[in-house]
Amino acid sequence: MLRSLGGELAPNDEASASGEGGAVVAAWGRASLDAAARAAVVGDASPLAGRLDFDAARGLRGTYALLAASESGLVLAKGVLGGHALYYRRLAGGVVAACSRASALARLGPTPPDLGALARFVASIPATDDRTVLDGVRRVLTCETMAIGRVTRRAARHTPRIDRFDGAGADEAADALFAQLERSVARVSATSSRVAVLTGGGVDSSALLASALTSSERVGSRGPLAVTLDFDGPGSDQPHFATLTAALGVETLKVPPRQAAPWLERALVLDGLPYVGACYDVGILVAAMAAGASAAMTGNFGDELFEGPMRAISAEVGVARAAWLASRLELPWDTTAAGRVRDLVIFPRAKPLVPSWLRTLRGRRAHAKLIPWAGPRVAAELAARRDELARDTALPSTPEERYLAFAHDARWSEVAEARAQIEQETGCARLEPFQDDELVALVASFSTELLMHGGRHRGLLRHALRGRVPDSVRLRRDKAWFEVALAEAAAAGGGLASLGDLSRFRRLDEAGIVRAAALREDYDRLCGGSAGDKGLGAAWSFVSLALAAEKFLACAERPAEPASPRAAEVQAAARVDAVTWTGEARAEGAVHFRVGRAGARYVAEWPGVLTLLVSPSGDVESRPARGADPRAVVRLSRGLGAALARHVRGELSLHASVVARGDRALAIVGESGAGKSTAAAALCARHGFELLCDDISPLTFTEHAVFVESVDDAHSLSREAARALGLATADEQLDGKVYVRGARRVRARLVAIASLSVADGGEV
pLDDT on residue 427: 79
Can you spell out the DSSP letters for 508-552? HHHTTSB-HHHHHHHHHHHHSTTTT-GGGHHHHHHHHHHHHHHHH
**Displacement of CA 64 from its chain's centroid (Å):** 14
* Mean pLDDT per 10-residue segment, the chain (764 residues): 28 36 51 38 48 72 73 76 76 75 75 91 86 90 82 81 86 95 90 88 94 87 90 86 95 90 88 89 88 88 90 90 94 91 88 60 62 87 71 78 83 82 84 89 94 95 96 91 83 80 92 92 76 68 92 79 35 49 80 81 83 76 73 76 79 89 89 85 86 86 82 79 71 57 70 81 56
Q: CB atoms < 10 A from the CB of 600, how many? A: 9
Q: CB atoms < 10 A from the CB of 723, how many? A: 13
Beta bridge partners of 96: 27, 89
pLDDT on residue 219: 77
Most distant CA pair in the chain: distance in Å? Answer: 90
Spell out the domains of the chain, with CATH numbers in brackets: 2-112+127-156 (3.60.20.10), 170-305+412-474 (3.40.50.620), 495-557 (no CATH), 567-648 (no CATH), 653-756 (3.40.50.300)
Tally of CA atoms within 13 A in the half-sphere of 54 that contains its CB: 16
Per-residue CA distances from 307 to 300, 331, 339, 636 (Å): 13, 10, 18, 41
pTM exceeding the 0.85 threshold for the entire prediction: no
pLDDT on residue 736: 55
pLDDT on residue 561: 41
Element containing residue 359 per DSSP (H, E): helix 356-370
Contact predicate 708/680, CB 8 Å: no
Rounded (to 5) percent helix, strand, coil in the chain: 40, 25, 35
Can you spell out the DSSP letters for 20-61? ETTEEEEEEETT----S-EEEEEEEEPPP-SS--HHHHHT--
Cβ-proximal residues to 612 (8 Å cutoff; 6+ apart), any chain: 290, 603, 604, 605, 620, 621, 622, 623, 636, 637, 641, 644, 645
User: Residue length, the chain?
Assistant: 764
Q: Give the pairing of strands 73-78 and 62-70.
A: antiparallel
Task: Report the chain's C-alpha Rg in angstroms.
Answer: 26
At 634, phi and psi to the nearest 5?
Answer: -60, -50
Element containing residue 99 per DSSP (H, E): strand 94-99
pLDDT on residue 178: 96
Beta bridge partners of 658: 667, 693
Can you spell out the DSSP letters for 641-699? IHHHHHHHTT--EEESEEEEETTEEEEEEESTTS-HHHHHHHHHHHH--EEEESSEEEE
pLDDT on residue 552: 94
